[in-house]
Chains A and B, each alone.
Chain A
Amino acid sequence: MTPILATQNVRLSYGEKEALHGIDLNFDEHSITALIGPSGCGKSTYLRCLNRMNDLIADTTVTGSFQFHEQDIYAPTTNLVELRKQIGMVFQQPNPFPFSLYENVTYGLKLAGHNDKRFLDEQVERALRQAAIWEEVKDDLHKNAFLFSGGQQQRICIARLLAVQPDIILLDEPTSALDPISSAQIEETLLTLKNDYTIIIVTHNLQQASRVADRTAFMLNGDLVEVDSTSQLFTQPAHQQTSDYLNGKFG
């Protein structure tokens, strides 16, 4: 299978200091990949390279190859708005906009020039259904997004992303601010979403990685130690460092 996203020899430096030392990772379409590793290992930094979020940080240099659908993510001609529509990101803290749920979910579509009410209504329902939150919020579409629970806000953010129909969803510790029940709901949502989307998730919750991910990549000190099917990595990792990390012996 040709990967939907292929990265090779990814290096990132903040000024003189290199934080990623040449990462090779590929992502298959409609799969979930988890990136794990101790704090500071570079997993979030790597994730943010994938839709050029690191461009916003001064004095950052990124090199390496990033092929997305045969397109070079770092080509000078890349349209960043378009790129981030195709490769969207969900953050650790739910960050709804301070308006109604409906306006949150339609925000990207309106930016893209869609104003037909019926179309927008359909897209809101589709996105909220895909984010597995429609039944809970369908009667409160015009309520301020801040008034929902943390878990619901996070799924609203996922729905906001889904409304613009991305190919890849990046999630940076999406459940670390949530209670176990909300986390479980997000995990179930991810398992449904992978039928239509490619998902890459950074998580500190190893059980979460083992529950949802098809493949897991273990990073340490800016290097990729190993990547394998999740069941292989959690039962027979190739490196002792991986086993030690999984068992909490460092990190």
Chain B
Amino acid sequence: MKNIFSEELKKLFSDFTDMGTAVSGQIAQATQSYIDHDKAAAQSLVTHDQSINGNEVDLEKQALTLMTLQQPVADDFRAVVSILKASADLERIGDHATSIASETIRVKGSHRNQSVEVKIASLSQQIRDMLTTALTAFNANDATQAEKIAKQDQSVDDQFDEIRNTVTVAMQQDPEVAAAGASYLLVTKLLERIGDRIVNLAEELVYNQTGEIIELNQSRIRPDGD
């Protein structure tokens, strides 16, 4: 009987990892299309987001069925609950990536700032690395990575502040940059929020392994936190 549970749990983790990989791809595509002003690529991503939402619903159904029929407790219970919560976070990350794609479609103005765009690309890559660390740790049930992810997120927050300052200065110096500048701020903020969601994944990882409910998200106590 419980072998069935183990098999189902394995499948749940495997589907969760697949969803995470797809979401990571979304972040990459969204940022790339934004920087390239590639509206066609952005549109395809917006359309694709529906399938990510569908993945989340499937994972939720699987987790709830497991909880209802197998009634796990202790570590098995924590594993299912952490996936349930983490899949909701992945879905929101996907939504943020879609918002970046939507911004690509909407953005107007040809005045651009190369150095800001390089920084956004670098920030995006760093966030994807964080996500990869979180997904790998989830599969290995390795909560020791949680602190590392939280530290990486602090660096993301610092870069967000830095880009905001750069953009503000650029807009002050050249009002023509204002349209692009507002867009840069929005996209950077979306990336920063994705970072916060990945920290949530790290918290869920800790809950899965230890049963402790902790708050790793520093920006929660910042006035502009998500």
Q: Footprint of B on A, CB under 8 Å?
A: 206-207, 210, 234-237, 242-243, 246-249
Interface residues of B in 51-95 (CB under 8 A from A): 71-78
Query: In the assembly, what is the distance between CA of A248 and CA of B1, in Å?
Result: 8
Contacts of B75 in A (CB 8 A): 243, 247
Beyond A235-B74, A247-B5, A249-B2, 7 additional contacts (C-beta under 8 Å) are A234-B77, A235-B77, A235-B78, A236-B74, A243-B73, A247-B72, A248-B1
Query: In the assembly, what is the distance between CA of A246 and CA of B71, in Å?
Result: 10
The chain B residue with its CB closest to the CB of A207 is B71
Contacts of A242 in B (CB 8 A): 74
Query: In the assembly, what is the distance between CA of A131 and CA of B211, in Å?
Result: 37
Contacts of A246 in B (CB 8 A): 73-74
The answer to whether A243 touches B2 (Cβ under 8 A) is: no
Q: How far is the CB of A38 from chain B (nearest CB, A)?
A: 14
CB contact under 8 A between A243 and B76, given known A207-B71, A248-B2? yes
Interface string of B163-195 (1 = CB under 8 A from A): 000000000000000000000000000000000
Q: How far is the CB of B96 from chain A (nearest CB, A)?
A: 32
The answer to whether B2 touches A235 (Cβ under 8 A) is: no
Give the interface size class of chain B. Answer: 10 to 19
The chain A residue with its CB closest to the CB of B6 is A249
Query: In the assembly, what is the distance between CA of A6 and CA of B193, in Å?
Result: 54
Query: In the assembly, what is the distance between CA of A207 and CA of B78, in Å?
Result: 17
B210 at the interface (CB under 8 A from A): yes
Q: How far is the CB of A27 from chain B (nearest CB, A)?
A: 23
Contacts of B77 in A (CB 8 A): 234-235
The chain B residue with its CB closest to the CB of A206 is B73
Residue among B75, B210, B211 with the highest chain A CB neighbour number at 10 A: B75
- What are 25 of the A-B contact pairs (CB < 8 Å)? A206-B73, A210-B73, A234-B74, A234-B77, A235-B73, A235-B77, A235-B78, A235-B211, A236-B74, A236-B210, A242-B74, A243-B74, A243-B75, A243-B76, A246-B73, A247-B2, A247-B5, A247-B72, A247-B73, A247-B74, A247-B75, A247-B76, A248-B1, A248-B2, A249-B2
The chain A residue with its CB closest to the CB of B77 is A235
The answer to whether A234 touches B73 (Cβ under 8 A) is: yes
Q: How far is the CB of B121 from chain A (nearest CB, A)?
A: 42
Contacts of B2 in A (CB 8 A): 247-249
The answer to whether A236 touches B211 (Cβ under 8 A) is: yes
Interface residues of B in 178-226 (CB under 8 A from A): 210-211
The answer to whether A237 touches B74 (Cβ under 8 A) is: yes
The chain B residue with its CB closest to the CB of A250 is B2
The chain B residue with its CB closest to the CB of A232 is B211
Query: In the assembly, what is the distance between CA of A207 and CA of B71, in Å?
Result: 9
Contacts of B1 in A (CB 8 A): 248
Q: How far is the CB of B82 from chain A (nearest CB, A)?
A: 12
Query: In the assembly, what is the distance between CA of A235 and CA of B71, in Å?
Result: 12
Residue among A206, A210, A237, A246 with the highest chain B CB neighbour number at 10 A: A246
Query: In the assembly, what is the distance between CA of A234 and CA of B2, in Å?
Result: 17
Query: In the assembly, what is the distance between CA of A248 and CA of B74, in Å?
Result: 11
Q: Across chains A and B, which 9 residue pairs bring their CB atoms closest together, nearest first?
A: A236-B211, A243-B74, A246-B73, A247-B76, A234-B73, A243-B75, A248-B2, A246-B74, A237-B74
Contacts of B5 in A (CB 8 A): 247
Contacts of B74 in A (CB 8 A): 234-237, 242-243, 246-247
Contacts of A235 in B (CB 8 A): 73-74, 77-78, 211
